[in-house]
A and B are shown apart, each in its own frame.
Chain A
């Protein structure tokens, strides 16, 4: 039995990669740092962040669209990844600043003094002067980069093992994932959580040691990194869902019990996909927050994860490019409408301000999509004759 390479078998991979490459080149050529400057740096950042959200949506689609677990805690992994990279960014940069100010002293500082002054600078805001144990690796970029995938992955592994082992599924599982992210958010909100309470981590847009480069270039670099991560993870996800493994996880989605009687260890499959998706989401978060500049526990509130599910549903779940379309379209539209730039609609006697009414429109359109277009925006591709067969 001959098999075509999966890149050709999965018809969406090449178009997605092509569009992504074209997009990245276009933005680069229109950016301030490397081109004509039509696109301002702030817009480059928005686009870069959108790519990260699209990546999180791809992971969400893996978990929900293919495995059938509606995880309402996916953004916990996203923010977790952001916190992990943020620790290094904040520590390394604060250490540079503190070292510079201590250098004014006639006597050079001891390493302990430097560390304490740095800790004081970071944690003074929550009334502490000591470096919590959670920051033990903050001085090392390689270690924190490892933690970006390892820590959320471990969380997903432990949580998933507990949840899947006890055969919690359906809406119960959704609620449980929601509880997980809420618990994490509430924990981080405390001042003594070791993550600066509700202040969160800030100043993340400044790369330590690269202050001279300027945000115009840095933001384009992050756009490249985000695009590369999205492209690579898309290929990975497409590979996972296209083979026999994809067959099995879709079967689990449709009838878990039957898969068990076929002899497949269902929990193992769930755990593998859930953990992998958590890691991908964490990578997306680790790329997102340096572009956003700040992260705080509000990012983990359950609502953020539900929005992620909404994007995937609107884009079209069960197909990876649908997730990307949903995340890009809805998040860009949302920021356009709530940013106050959308023109208001003047009715006789009442002016519809989009800032006020966008949420209502989004909520209702979401109901409509669920009711009338369960395949989402990506369902449009089914109508095109050339793509009639399975994507």
Chain B
């Protein structure tokens, strides 16, 4: 009989999922109420499984048990309490809140319960609950949950199945006990650049510095050489930590110790007034040390001896060297791929920055090409565009509609401003580029102050429509905000429009003629004054559009244009004038380079800008006329 019962028990155990299905929660609880009251980590497993198998009510009971919200009343009822509310754990009926204290299973038991909960959730018919369980595991999985996860790898939903497989590998690497399985998991995931994989690898490869007289026990990452790859101060600190060296004394401590031993204006026979000399001070301290009045402190020679006697090692926390080797290899390959992806991300960033510079600079480049004048108020036209969009937004609530209205309106407003500036100021200063520069600067400070007087000094928000918010994310590394994509598209559009105007219209033909040879153009009946006015308006109008674009991701202030104007000048200077491709090349170079320099030292954008400008000054040495210089005799002027 005992034999038969053993076999039966085995059968029951194997068929447990089926067998316990039949059991009701009432029966299970009635069966094992003692064990519920006083569970033991070692034996509670089967009970938890049985309760879990009874269905949602059982799972709720388990959750309450683990959360220490399950109360066993004197009457023998199991209640789930939540603050002042209580329900019967078996029936779900509302009950009066009990006076008794909840059951307090120890952490071992709670671990078992939570694993069971996760295991049951992982096989829950509802995919949403399965996904939730996976989220929980990914966030705070532990070694106990690895077996249930492995048991639940099959999933009808392919997405969830993939997630489970991935999580299983990650958890194996973290919590697995079999080195071969861990290495296999690491190798299977090598090349993955997701944050979670990298986060799993990092603790495996974490090291600590160990000073020892001989090669230490454990998984040695490498030996360090003092002075070459280990700063001397760090080595000394490690020796002090180990107790192989007395701590060094700071000059404050030394001074305090000396001050404590002043006797009649002398310390160990040395007059106090002489202690301003560091050598005398050290000698005095040594004398005190010899007399035992002060604790000994490390001296330079002791430090040297200790350094000679020790070797320094980096030790992995992970004891298995095969695992760390595999992890190191996986990390290297992840870093390589990560580098490539960061490059792509950087490229996207640079592209959007270049688009902005392009939009901001194109007007400058055109007016410079045609009239040889630099419009210092160009930045203020950018600002004017941004404020136009802001004003439109206060009048039209619908963000999309207001943007659609704002773009052409900003163009019109700044076009008009450009034409007015041309008629009133610039045409009267023909062939005096430096005077034009200064006169337009006067306009610039007047416009800036005017904007302050009208709109106030605080920043005005220009909100993008909902569909432009958020970003396009390709993976953990590569993402680009939708606004920047939109600005890129806008820049492309204006490049297209500009090329169309220049190559396909009468205006463009005349502009090109005036740019190349003003005298000849005038003698052929082209009115250079009108052409100059139109180009000036066009350039200003595009500045207005750039203002709207910039306003969408930066705050609109009266200094908005100032922030971009120098970069725009740089774009024109670097790109060369009189050719839109030059401006494009200049914008790409400036945008790309700023991003690259910034990525080399992300903490210090100020230094990045400094280096950028220095680069441009050097660049001008080699290509004084820009990347794409203007051709023909006009260039000689």
Contacts and interface: CB of A to CB of B under 8 A. Distances in A.
Are any A and B Cβ atoms less than 8 Å apart in their complex?
yes
B566 A178 contact: yes
A105 B255 contact: yes
Interface string B448-460: 1110110000000
Say which size band chain B's interface belongs to.
35 or more
Contacts of B251: 110, 112-113
B610 A186 contact: yes
Contacts of B372: 170-171
A297 to B, nearest CB: 10
Interface stretch (B60-68, B135-143, B431-439, B474-482): B431-439
Nearest to B441: A306
Nearest to A198: B606
Interface stretch (B201-209, B273-281, B535-543): B273-281
Say which size band chain A's interface belongs to.
35 or more
Contact of A179 (B272, B281, B617): B617
Interface in A322-366: 356-366
Nearest to A110: B278
Contact of A370 (B439, B452, B573, B613): B439
B273 A108 contact: yes
Contacts of B276: 107-111
B624 to A, nearest CB: 5
B606 A182 contact: no
Interface in B523-560: none
A274 interface: no
A152 to B, nearest CB: 17
A367 B443 contact: yes
A190 B604 CA distance: 8
Given A108-B273, A171-B373, A190-B606, A356 B569 contact: no
A101 to B, nearest CB: 14
B613 A182 contact: yes
A108 B621 contact: no
Interface string A68-102: 10100000000000000000000000000000000
Among A359, A361, A365, which residue has the most Cβ atoms of chain B within 10 A? A359
A166 B629 CA distance: 14
A187 B607 contact: yes
A363 B452 CA distance: 14
Contact of B446 (A107, A192, A359): A359
Interface in B319-376: 368, 372-374, 376
B620 interface: yes
B441 A182 contact: no
Interface string A287-322: 000000000000000100010011001000000000
Given A171-B434, A370-B439, A190 B607 contact: yes
B371 to A, nearest CB: 11
A179 B624 CA distance: 15
B326 to A, nearest CB: 40
A39 interface: no
Contact of A371 (B267, B281, B429, B566): B429
B383 interface: no
A166 B621 CA distance: 5
A270 to B, nearest CB: 15
Nearest to A297: B606
Contacts of B438: 70, 306, 309-310, 313, 366, 370
Nearest to B626: A172
Among A171, A174, A190, A358, which residue has the most Cβ atoms of chain B within 10 A? A171
Interface stretch (A123-131, A134-142, A157-165, A208-216): A157-165
B442 A360 contact: no
A176 B302 CA distance: 58
B566 A356 contact: no
Among A113, A175, A184, which residue has the most Cβ atoms of chain B within 10 A? A175
A159 B617 CA distance: 9
Contacts, number: 166
A367 B28 CA distance: 94
A133 B97 CA distance: 74
B3 interface: no
A207 interface: no
Nearest to B421: A367
A175 B613 contact: no
A374 B439 CA distance: 11
B445 interface: yes
A356 B262 contact: no
Nearest to B439: A370
Interface in B596-615: 604, 606-607, 609-610, 613-614
A106 B267 CA distance: 11
Contacts of B443: 363-364, 367
A14 interface: no
A167 interface: yes
Interface string B35-79: 000000000000000000000000000000000000000000000
B446 A174 contact: no
B374 to A, nearest CB: 5
Nearest to A167: B624
B446 A364 contact: yes
Interface string A177-196: 01110111011011010000
Nearest to A165: B621
B133 interface: no
A163 B446 CA distance: 31
A168 interface: yes
A296 B442 CA distance: 25
B618 interface: yes
Contacts of B447: 363
A160 to B, nearest CB: 11
B115 interface: no
B617 A162 contact: yes
A159 B372 CA distance: 24
Contact of A112 (B278, B439, B441, B573): B278
B442 A363 contact: yes
Given A105-B259, A175-B569, A366 B620 contact: no
Interface in B108-157: none
Nearest to A367: B442
B621 A366 contact: no
Contacts of B450: 360
Contacts of B614: 183
B259 A162 contact: no
B439 A189 contact: no
A349 B592 CA distance: 51
A166 B273 CA distance: 62
Contact of A174 (B434, B604, B618): B434
Contacts of A184: 610
A106 B259 contact: yes
Nearest to A371: B428
Given A113-B255, A366-B439, A370-B425, 14 more contacts: A105-B255, A163-B617, A168-B620, A168-B624, A171-B368, A180-B617, A186-B606, A189-B606, A310-B441, A356-B449, A359-B446, A362-B442, A370-B429, A371-B425
28 contacts: A68-B434, A70-B434, A105-B255, A107-B267, A107-B272, A108-B272, A108-B276, A110-B276, A112-B251, A166-B620, A166-B624, A171-B372, A171-B433, A171-B434, A171-B437, A172-B573, A172-B624, A176-B617, A179-B616, A180-B613, A183-B613, A189-B606, A192-B604, A310-B441, A360-B446, A360-B450, A363-B441, A363-B444
Top 5 nearest A-B pairs (CB, nearest first) are A363-B446, A366-B442, A359-B449, A183-B613, A108-B276
